[in-house]
Amino acid sequence: MKILYFAWLREKAGTAAEEVEPPAGVRTVADLIAWLSARSPGHAAAFADLATVRCAVNQDFAGPETPIAPGDEVAFFPPVTGG
């Protein structure tokens, strides 16, 4: 599974992209966040305030209950500020 981080989530996590293999129990975006948060203090900091974290699964906006599967591209980022 490919994990992408953008903007300040990238800075806090300390990486722009990583390949991970979460255990079978990690079935949703919320599960994945909990599992990723335990990887490093940086990851924990990136996910400390979930009110400011947005997610996309395979380039579609996703919510905490969105299911994830091996091979997915999951991205985490702050609320968008383009335009």
Which residues of this protein are in contact with another protein, per CB under 8 A?
Answer: 4, 6-8, 56, 59, 61, 75, 77-83
Least distance in Å: CB of 82 to another protein? 3
CB 5 → another protein: shortest distance, Å?
10
Q: What one-character-per-residue DSSP string does 10-73 give?
A: HHHHT-SEEE----TT--BHHHHHHHHHTS-HHHHHHTS-GGG-EEEETTEEE-TT-B--TT-E
- Between 27 and 61, name the residue whose CB sits nearer to another protein: 61
Q: 38 or 66, CB closer to another protein? A: 66
Decide whether 38 or 83 has the Cβ nearer to another protein.
83
Q: How far is the CB of 63 from another protein (least distance, A)?
A: 15
Element (H, E) at 9: helix 7-13
**Is residue 82 helix, strand or coil?**
coil
